[in-house]
Amino acid sequence: MFEVYITRSGKFLPNNAISNDEMETLLGLINDSASKARRIILRNNGITSRYYAIDSKGNPTHTNADLANNAINTLFDAEFTSKNVELLSCGTSTPDHLLPSHAAMVHGLMKNQSVELNSSSGVCNAGMNALKFGYLSIKAGNTNNAVCSGSERVSTWMQANKYENEIVNLKKLEEQPIIAFKKDFLRWMLSDGAAAFLLENKPRGEKSLRIEWMEAYSYAHELETCMYAGGDKLEDGSIKPWSDYSSNEWLSQSVFSIKQDVKLLDEHILVKGAESMKNALTKNNIKAEEITYFLPHVSSHYFVKGLYEALKNEGVEVPMDKWFMNLKYVGNVGSASIYLMLEELMNTNKLKKGDKVLLSVPESGRFSYSYAYLTVC
């Protein structure tokens, strides 16, 4: 078994940072009315700026594959070029197409040479799953290196014009022409961007991060779906898939919009997060006091205090001065968020040899969690 190191990191955030006051201008008004929930949601999530891959008129400026490819290109120089890549592993929640795979589309933009591909789907854990595929490939000696990425282009999913037919349908039914909170909620939570890591079986440069272990946990066997797209939730908790709806219903019910059951989220996300993190640390004989930097992906600052308390209740207390986050000014970029956090930490002067870094990523899709433990060397 080989050691695995994160030797380089890079990112790409499209266009200029978007303030809270600019969001609705770019995404558009639904039914020509300002969202009643927007200010409350933004106040709770604590995000002050984010990035969108659309211009001032709402036209797309980049595809998801473009974002990932631009982030990946920052990893290359004369010593390591795209021609040296052996494995490309890409994760996203919002691929540009149902087919071909996201990784195939990114590879098509790289125009380098034949490589092994892996596409990881899901929600926020798609990025960590992409990382784990690269990690395991190098660990087993199947490849000497891997490029792993997380990327999202969700802004075009959240534009007001995507809900026009639903509003028209509600008016025809003589119902209030207001989209459900489960849809409106995520319009003010998510943003675009990409980041990438180069993984190798040897350290490179002054500082590399050795991946000591990665762990993942799913609770889908006991909890119903919380965050979803391409379908809708039925009374029994099951999800009716988009292919079971008529094409007219795709539009009249905004079937492809991203939705979240906020009640389920609040009830389970922290409890299962603390439980799974305790299990991961116990399994690998790690004590909380050994962690130098804790990088938790949270969708909202609303959850930070609760996560701290939930971990403390499980006997895993990580002091807040060890937490490193950039949600406030980068936004919630789903599967790319953990990459963006670590990329920023790696490119500061904070890290010292011997430091221990714990990555933590929850996914509310059907409640799953991923962890990675790193040593600076």
Residue 10: predicted pLDDT: 98
Is residue 68 a contact partner of residue 195, using CB atoms and an 8 Å limit? no
Could you tell me which of 262, 319, 330 has the C-alpha nearest to residue 293?
319
Is residue 312 a contact partner of residue 326, using CB atoms and an 8 Å limit? no
Give the pLDDT of the chain (377 residues) as one tens digit per residue. Answer: 999 999 999 999 999 999 999 999 999 999 999 998 999 999 999 999 999 999 999 999 999 999 999 999 999 999 999 999 999 999 999 999 999 999 999 999 999 999 999 999 999 999 999 999 999 999 999 999 999 999 999 999 999 999 999 998 888 888 888 888 999 999 999 999 999 999 999 999 989 999 999 999 999 999 999 999 999 999 999 999 999 999 999 999 999 999 999 999 999 999 999 999 999 999 999 999 999 999 999 999 999 999 999 999 999 999 999 999 999 999 999 999 999 999 999 999 899 999 999 999 999 999 999 999 999 99
* CA–CA dist 37, 22 (Å, integer): 16
DSSP class of residue 38 equals: H
Q: What angle do CA 167, 21, 17 make, to 5 degrees?
A: 110
Cα–Cα distances (Å) from 373 to 194, 240, 359, in that order, read: 22, 37, 6
Look at domain 5-206 and name its CATH class: alpha beta
Put simply, whether the predicted model's pTM sits higher than 0.85 gets the answer: yes
Q: Give the torsion sign (CA, 96, 102, 105, 106).
A: positive
Could you tell me which of 224, 226, 194, 229 has the C-alpha nearest to residue 90?
194
Instruction: Indicate the domain borders of the chain.
Output: 5-206, 211-220+260-376
Fold: same for 5-206 and 211-220+260-376: yes
Residue 63: predicted pLDDT: 98
Residue 178: predicted pLDDT: 83
* CA–CA dist 111, 264 (Å, integer): 43
Residue 174: predicted pLDDT: 81
Residue 173: predicted pLDDT: 81
Look at domain 211-220+260-376 and name its CATH class: alpha beta
Helix axes 304-313, 262-283, angle to 10 degrees: 40
